[in-house]
Amino acid sequence: SCHIALGLGFPNVIKDYDKYTLDEIHDKGVNDSVIHVDFMVGDATMNIDGITPDGEVIPVFRNGNWTEKFM
């Protein structure tokens, strides 16, 4: 799937984000907004697998739908 997010960005995706000022976070490209809206885009042919650190493959989406494990 494709994930598109508009509005508020999350600073905690930046390593050591808590050591930066808000202005420094903005300079690193994190948007500040009163809204945050997520859009997920896909279709009935979409299949997605997650891979754990030890290499296990876990089905997340099958045929455009969440698998039982994630419902």
Cα 19 to Cα 11: distance, rounded to the nearest angstrom? 11
Residue 29, SS3 per DSSP: coil
HSE (CB half, 13 Å, CA atoms) of 34? 0
Q: Give residue 21's pLDDT.
A: 94
**Taking the domains of the chain in order of start, what are their residue ranges?**
2-70
CB 4 within 8 A of CB 38: yes
- The model carries a pTM of 0.48
The per-residue pLDDT for range 19-49, each reduced to its tens digit, is 999 999 999 999 889 998 988 888 889 898 9
